[in-house]
Amino acid sequence: MVAALDRPLSSVALHLAVLRNRGILAEERRGSEILFRVRDERTRDVLALLCEAHDERAWDWPSPAGGKRGGRAKTQPRTSALRARRSS
């Protein structure tokens, strides 16, 4: 997750802790891994819509620092991964 977000581990861990403490995320420990999932289906739907909107407009947005744009290549849409997870 750290690599995908291009943020330091401490920042990602802090945000995940806040989301978990607010009841938005649930966590499951499997050995040394911690898996997170969004608890509420309505919240998952909203996140999927936001990801769709981001994917559609991401390449039209100016880069915040004038450098490289974050995210992934247009050939790997984020929403299909979300839909696949949601439907299973």
Between residues 35 and 76, which one has the greater pLDDT?
Answer: 35
Identify the weakest region by mean pLDDT among 12-26, 27-41, 42-56. 42-56
Convert the chain into a string of H (helix), E (strand) and C (coil).
CHHHHCCCHHHHHHHHHHHHHCCCEEEEEECCEEEEEECCHHHHHHHHHHHHHHHHHHHHCCCCCCCCCCCCCCCCCHHHHHHHHHHC
pLDDT at 74: 43
pLDDT in tens, 78-87: 444 444 444 4
Between residues 60 and 75, which one has the greater pLDDT?
Answer: 60
With a cut of 60, say whether residue 46 has pLDDT above it: yes
pTM for the full predicted model: 0.54
